[in-house]
Amino acid sequence: MPRPEEVALPSRRERFEDRRKEASHRDLLDQFFDHRTLLAVSRLVNQGLIDSIDFPIATGKEGGVFRATRGDEYRAVKIYRIANATFRNLPAYALDELRRETSVRNYGGLIFAWTRREHTILGRLADAKVRAPYPYGHLRNCLVMEFVGNEAGAAPRLLDAQVDDPEAVYQDLVLQIGRMVRDARLVHGDLSPYNTLLFEGRVVLIDVAQAVTVEHPQALALLERDIANFARFVGRLGFEVDPEEFLRAVGGTDLRPPPAEA
């Protein structure tokens, strides 16, 4: 059995074409893979969810996403940094949801609850046929999910992608957000071209942990903000859409309270 540190970013694998990257990989190892996280990754290997973690896809202040291998397929592993004060700056509505599972003063517990929550929400989206990474499993601060991409690499963010048909992207957004609202009964709450991927001409919704149910008091305001983000984006690409029409198309107007009787 390999040691835990040999599972994460192994240095002796043919998949690494450029050995000079090893130093940067080791730097990432120090940043993300503390002893407890290494043990969690090792357990994920023992559970058969992954064979190894290959290399980083994207990294940020709160965590990183790494490509992993399982047999002859790729998977993605999202790892939240445990020692990161910026995670304390979650929006109030997200903290309200987590308070049901753990104390906000228990920072490690907060991270683990956030990971569980993202896994659960991805499962709800899969049941509703929303195009989002399929969740395979989780442990502590590690989430194993579908890899969106191919041999050439991970799918780009919508913000960075070459969009040849903005109207088709808009129609796909209507379909996916509509399924999220109507079928999964969820509102993303932080949706924008920054956390949407474009793969083979179709959008993929990601970073869903902060999603709330449509019954949440802030659900409509959050959905309106999500819609406004995308209306501006497709508008800059040359396809103008009225945000109110966009909201109506995804079923958002159904979240509005009925007008008060005169």
Q: How confident is the model at residue 259 (pLDDT cuts 50, 70, 90)?
A: low
Task: Read off the pTM.
Answer: 0.84
Written as six digits, the tokens of 122 are 């991805």
Q: Are 45 and 7 in contact (CB under 8 A)?
A: yes
Q: How confident is the model at residue 17 (pLDDT cuts 50, 70, 90)?
A: very low
Say which amino acid occupies 42: S
CATH class of 46-151: alpha beta
Written as six digits, the tokens of 78 are 């999202």
- Indicate the domain borders of the chain: 46-151, 154-255
* Catalytic member of 54, 172, 207, 226: 207
Q: Are 139 and 40 in contact (CB under 8 A)?
A: yes
* Catalytic member of 54, 172, 190, 226: 190
pLDDT score of 7: 60
Q: Are 102 and 110 in contact (CB under 8 A)?
A: yes
pLDDT score of 27: 63
pLDDT score of 103: 57
Active site residue 18: no
Extract long-range pairs of 246-249: CB within 8 Å, 24+ residues apart: 246/170, 246/174, 247/223, 249/174, 249/178
**What are the pLDDT digits (tens) for 147-204?**
999 988 999 999 999 999 999 999 999 999 999 999 999 999 989 999 999 999 999 9
**25, exposed or middle or buried, with CB in 10 Å at 0-12, 13-18, 19+?**
middle
Q: Name the more confident of 167 and 82.
A: 167
Task: Determine the Cα–Cα distance for residues 53 and 68; give it in Å rounded to an integer.
Answer: 4
User: Would the CATH topology of 46-151 be identical to that of 154-255?
Assistant: no
Mean per-residue pLDDT for 216-242?
Answer: 94
Written as six digits, the tokens of 121 are 């929400």
The answer to whether residue 214 scores a pLDDT higher than 90 is yes
- Largest CA-CA distance found in the chain, in angstroms, rounded: 74
pLDDT score of 12: 47
Q: Kindly indicate whether the domain formed by 154-255 is annotated with CATH number 3.40.50.1820.
A: no
Active site residue 190: yes
